[in-house]
Amino acid sequence: MLSRTVSQIEKPESQPGASKSQLVCCLDWKGNVMRSIKPVCYSRFFLFLVLLSAALAAAEVNTAFHDAPDSTKNVKNPYEGRHAAVLAGHQLYNRNCRSCHGRSAEGTGNVPSLVDGKLESVMPGEVFWFITKGDKDSGMPSWAKLPEKERWQLVAYVKSLGLPQTSHHVVSTHAMDEGGPALKAPPPTPPFTDFRYEKPGTVRKITVNDLPKPYATQSAENGPDLVARPENVWPIAPPGFKVEQYATGLDNPRTLRTAPNGDIFLTESQAGRIRVFRGLTNDGTPELSAVFATGLKRPYGLAFYPPGPNPQWLYVGSTAEIVRFPYHNGDLKATGVPQHIVDLPNTGGHWTRAVAFSQDGKKLFVAVGSASNVNDPDTHPEEKNRADILVCDPNNCNLSVYAYGIRNAGGGIAVNPQTGELWCSVNERDALGDNLVPDYITHVRDGGFYGWPWWYMGGHQDPRQQGKHPELNDKVITPDVLLQPHNASLEFTFYDSSQFPSEYKGDIFASEHGSWNKAVRAGYEVIRVPLHQSGHASGEYEDFLTGFVLPDGNVWGRPVGITIAPDGSLLVSDDGSSSIWRVSYRGK
């Protein structure tokens, strides 16, 4: 058997063991929200919505909602009719569940609708009872530990989804007006910045000496409320570059990967689908689009094996497992069923699983993000074998830890074709203030420890872990390139083509999905990390593709995947506008 249970995976001896409490979700209701990549939060909170909507869909009339006592039908929501309570619940939905259920909770793919009217037959007290009690048999945990007010706010919003469209519209379009006045806020203190000052060509460098003390500012909750892209708005690239819309109308477009024959593969994670594009028309769009595979469970990572011009397999990293499809150059549809390679840790929290192969094909790397923001693995067993980059033999996958203390590199890992080194793009922890902790991009050392959850950026201890593991202080590796805190850095690629000017050769292009835990948004861009034709970074990065945030702070686009097309242009997936953008160089 190729699979191995996660309990068999062991960290290096310097990594303490773990044991952990039962209740873990991607949402800390006091503000410690795990950066979901929004699209991103497949937490138990999401599971609640799925189970709730499934239960409603199964019953034509409400007789006993999950065996709720009759007395619950008469319990009133103390916040019923309060617009503020509905908006509070809506904010939680936007930040954690909209990427799954859609902006208006209409559902998509395997995710059921919450706006089909079936909620009308369930009383608020029954919904509150179900949230509080849970359902162990169906996998729904008890949320009794959540403050009662939050549970009722959640009920208020969920119940508002069953109202007539005219009433629901008041909520779903809140803060979505286009063309509003420019956001007014004090300017950021360099080297930190926000979307208002992101401009292609601007070079930035953050060092550990620039880091503020924890809690220098309050922890913000400022998740994006996506709006439609105005007709006169387009991504902005440096002079000499042209931006075109390569594809649109996609369903949660995430990872992009270029096959050896030049075909472009895309994961549509929410729909459980892998799509492939071929060719390029005169107007910059694909000549052909096909569905390679369906029926997957949140596919994200893609890698062709063996490395080189003649692959035999396509490996796919999903939340709970790695599978592989038979693949030969030119295949537009999978010619066989997926083969299970290995189970992956799957205890909630970060769900993306990036995969990559070493240049010699002897190592399969997979990044597994943490299950929380800053939970101690010593006391939270769900964190065991999380916040790691794991490694195995591709053909006999017995996972072990390659590097650890990396909060979430599940958005992107890749091997530098010049040096053969593994690199990663990391979402660091939240809730320490606007300018802590920086996200980062770095090469990864075998056996290296990068700090999470006890330390960060070298010998800086997280105050929430005060006094723990002093023996690890000197082991913490400072990353190569510090990015803006809360940027949500995701996929990246090494530019190994020749269409762009020669100074771009070998550089990194990385997608920054965008902040939620910063008072004024940052990220929502593509950046360039110069490697100086040496394969090594010197700490600086440069804004490259911007304009995904409107002057009033509303967001229309969020970069995710990134790859190099056969002609040397850059392709960027955007799960905000459900598009892929093509950036080509046309000269000065």
* Average pLDDT score over residue span 345-351: 94
Q: Are residues 160 and 305 in the same domain?
A: no
For residue 24, give both structure tokens: 């873990």
Q: Do the strands 438-443 and 313-318 form a parallel or antiparallel pair, or are they unpaired?
A: unpaired
Residue 112 has a pLDDT of 46
Last residue of a domain, one of 135, 152, 172: 172
Tell me which H or E stretch contains 403: strand 396-404
Half-sphere exposure of 92 (CA within 13 A, CB side): 25
Closest CA to 547 of 235, 237, 242: 235
pLDDT at 4: 33
Distance CA 300, CA 302 (A): 7
Structural Rg of the chain based on CA atoms: 23
Distances (CA, A) of 237 to 286, 545, 549, 554: 21, 5, 14, 20
Beta partners for 290?
276
Examine residue 511 and state whether it is found in any structural domain, yes or no.
yes
DSSP 8-state secondary structure symbol assigned to residue 236: B
Q: Is residue 142 part of a domain?
A: yes
Contact 377, 16 (CB under 8 A): yes
Greater model confidence, 126 or 39: 126
Q: What is the three-state SS of 466-520?
A: CCCCHHHHHHECCCCEEEEECCCEEEEEECCCCCCCHHHCCCEEEEECCCCCCCC
Sign of the torsion angle spanned by Cα atoms 463, 465, 468, 474? negative
Domain assignment present for residue 150? The answer is yes
Res 226: pLDDT: 94
SS3 content of the chain, % helix, strand, coil (to 5): 20, 25, 55
Identify the domain containing residue 349 by its residue range.
297-561
pLDDT digits (tens, 9 = 90+) for 169-222: 333 333 333 446 888 999 999 999 999 999 999 999 999 999 999 999 999 999
The pLDDT tens digits of the residues spanning 503-512 come to 999 999 999 9
Mean pLDDT of the chain: 85
Identify the DSSP state of 118: G
State residue 45's pLDDT score: 54
> At 112, is the secondary structure helix, strand, or coil?
coil
Last residue of a domain, one of 172, 199, 226: 172
246 domain-assigned? no
Of 280, 264, 366, nearest to 321 (Cα)? 366
Which of the four pLDDT bands, split at 50, 70 and 90, describes residue 406?
Answer: very high
pLDDT of 19 reads: 38
The answer to which of 57-71, 450-464, 466-480 has the lowest mean pLDDT is 57-71
The total of structural domains in the chain comes to 2
Q: Compute the average pLDDT of residues 159-174.
A: 45
- Residue 354 and residue 487 in one domain: yes
Do the beta carbons of residue 259 and residue 331 sit within 8 Å?
no
Tell me the average pLDDT across 235-249.
98
Q: Quick check: is 573 in a domain? A: no
pLDDT at position 580 over 60: yes
What are 8-52's pLDDT values in tens digits?
Answer: 455 544 444 443 333 333 333 333 333 333 333 444 555 555 555
Residues 306 and 164 in one domain: no
Can you tell me which residue has the tokens 């796919």? 316
Report yes or no on 570 lying in a domain.
Answer: no
* pLDDT grade for 339, boundaries at 50, 70 and 90: very high
The CATH number for 39's domain is 1.10.760
Q: Based on the fold, state whether residues 517 and 369 are members of the same structural domain.
A: yes
